[in-house]
Amino acid sequence: MPYNRPKALLFDVFGTVVDWRSSIMRETRRAARRKGLSLDWGDFADAWRAGYRPAMDRVRRGELPWIKLDELHRVILDELVVRFRLRLSERAKRDLNAAWHRLSPWPDAVRGLTRLKQRYCIGTLSNGNVALLVDMARHAGLPWDLILSAELFQRYKPDPQVYHGAAELLGLLPREVMLVAAHKDDLAAARGCGLRTAFVMRPLEHGPKKPPELALDRWRLSSVDVFSLLRVRLTLLNCGQ
């Protein structure tokens, strides 16, 4: 079968391109140190991230009207501040919530994306809102051609409107677009919409003690997946440090 390469590579961002857990641990530790507080910051980061899916699912089911990820993060933070007894000022909470705009990339991300950009149009396809993704790109030096966000469609991944909408804005057929992600549900939904998919394994996404959500041998790969996986991963690996 001849391999027709995709025209655009769209990347999931949290976990796939940036290391949210280490970044949030670092920022929370810094915010709390000023108050003399100490706790397991990994637990705090995990709890913040764990609140995201249920909150987002309430929006996806229509139980809440559309709200962007910055606001979802803030709702969860307000609960965690009480649960972890952090006692932060309004200003400190606002600043800490913006930590999601300042996440650090995985070590291979900037070099890998820079190389991929020479041959492909590269963009985000993230549940992060536009402002968050733009700030993050400027902070981390991520060389996106364009920022595509769930916010543009007022639907969160894995709702199909996000994948179809992205292909439509790019003026491409779904099969001309490849989603690159470290997560099973995202890849499966993109595939269900006719997009091509590439899996990037991020074994440390949930920290050194927990297994990644998805390992290579647990993801049923079609031949196209394997092929594209190899091409994208090899390019990324070539850029690894």
Q: Which of residues 14-33 bind a second copy (CB under 8 A)?
A: none
Could you tell me if 17 and 11 are in contact, meaning their C-beta atoms sit under 8 angstroms apart?
Answer: yes
Spell out, one character per residue from 147 to 186, where the chain touches a second copy: x when CB under 8 A holds, - when not.
Answer: x---xx----------------xxxx--------------
Nearer residue to a second copy within complex by CB, 12 or 151: 151
Residue of the chain from 138, 203, 222, 230 that contacts a second copy (CB under 8 A): 138
Distance CA 88, CA 120 (A): 44
Compare residues 32 and 133 and give the one whose CB is closer to a second copy.
133
Rounded-to-integer distance, Cα 147 and Cα 53, Å: 22
- Residue 148 in 3-state DSSP? strand
- Count of all residues that appear for the chain in the document: 241
- The CA distances from residue 119 to 30, 195, 227, in Å, are 40, 18, 17
239 binds a second copy (CB under 8 A): no
Q: How far is the CB of 171 from a second copy (least distance, A)?
A: 3
> Residues 182, 6, 100, 239: is their CA dihedral positive or negative?
positive
β-strands 146-149, 196-199: how paired? unpaired
Structure tokens given for 99: 């930590």
Alpha-carbon gap, residue 45 to 80, rounded angstroms? 10
Degrees to nearest 5, angle at CA 130 with 128 and 131: 105
| Largest Cα–Cα separation, the chain | 62
The nearer residue to a second copy, 131 or 201, going by C-beta atoms, is 131
Binding piece for a second copy, criterion CB under 8 A, among 21-29, 77-85, 145-153, 210-218: 145-153
How many residues touch a second copy under the rule CB under 8 A: the total is 18
Q: Smaller CB distance to a second copy: residue 91 or 220?
A: 91
CB 20 within 8 A of CB 190: no
Q: Identify which of residues 70 and 213 has a Cβ nearer to a second copy in the complex.
A: 70
Give, as ranges, the residues between 98 and 137 that touch a second copy (CB under 8 A).
121, 123, 129-131, 134, 137
Of the ranges 38-46, 144-152, 192-200, 212-220, which one interacts with a second copy (CB under 8 A)?
144-152
- Residue numbers of the site for a second copy (CB under 8 A)? 70, 121, 123, 129-131, 134, 137-138, 145-147, 151-152, 169-172
